[in-house]
Amino acid sequence: MEQTVSLWRADNELWVPHLLHLEVQPGGACFTLAPEVVRQQEWPPALLETWTLFFTEAHRAGGWLPLHAAVISHEGRAVAVSGVSGAGKSTATLRLSADYAVLAEDRAFWQASSGQVAGLDRCLRLFPESVERFAPHLQAQAERAPRDAKGKHMLPLAAPTAPSQLLALLCFAPLGSTASVLSASERVRTVWEMTGFPLTALAREEVQRGIVRLLPLLAQEPVTRETAIERVKALLDS
């Protein structure tokens, strides 16, 4: 069910009236749930989306940049792969899961100060035909896994045993693009689209500093369905 809410912001505060308030500051963040929400037996549908937005903003303000990307890890080293829907990111992730750990299917956070990357996803969501075609090694596990509303298997991701450092950021070429190298402006746009737009003053400062450190990790050559897997393997196995 769709619901429209009014989002307000001022300096380092965000709030949706009668729902949720966030204030960020150096060293921490404060979330305040509206009293009328606390008294309700069921939380309103808009709360989850609002919480997700505010949760992401609090991380931005704390120096953790959100990445709309899959993250593949091996022995404490990680590669992030981003791309628009349909580009091939999910297929590449499935195939790579046979030999490497998947930290994130679609959502991750990267800390600019340390270079560490952490996944936010807790499971891989896979259509049965995708498992059969691209990840037969997951077939037995998929048959035991629960399914979501779309019929996708929900395979839990293993919790990482140690932090992972982000080595590189790969981006799928836009659909229909024939460019072999991303221009300077395309690189900047790609990173900003991946991290999203910060809403508070503190988050803007942290993200701008983080973007400067993240840009050098973005490969100049975009990947394709044919090259993505070998590019990731070459980075993780080097």
**DSSP labels, 136-187:** GGGHHHHHHS-B-TTS-EEEEPPPPSS-EEEEEEEEBPPTT---SS--HHHH
Q: Is the same domain home to 187 and 167?
A: yes
Domain count, the chain: 2
In this structure, the answer to whether residues 58 and 70 fall within a common structural domain is no
Q: Is 179 within the bounds of a domain? A: yes
Where in the sequence is the domain holding 75, given as residue range(s)? Answer: 66-122+157-237
pLDDT at residue 85, as a whole number:
72
Measured CA to CA, the distance from residue 7 to residue 4 in angstroms comes to 10
Asked whether residue 211 falls in the same domain as residue 167, the answer is yes
Residues 226 and 115 in one domain: yes
Q: What is the dihedral of CA 7, 8, 14, 18, to 10 degrees?
A: -70
Q: Would you write out the chain's pLDDT as a tens digit for each of its 238 residues?
A: 567 888 999 999 999 999 999 999 998 999 999 998 888 777 788 898 999 999 999 999 999 999 999 999 999 999 999 987 767 788 888 889 889 999 999 999 999 999 999 998 888 887 888 878 877 887 888 788 888 888 888 888 877 778 899 999 999 876 666 668 888 998 999 999 999 999 999 999 999 999 999 999 999 999 988 899 999 999 999 8
Query: Is 22 exposed, middle or buried, given 0-12, 13-18 or 19+ CB atoms closer than 10 A?
Result: buried
Same domain, yes or no: 106 and 162:
yes
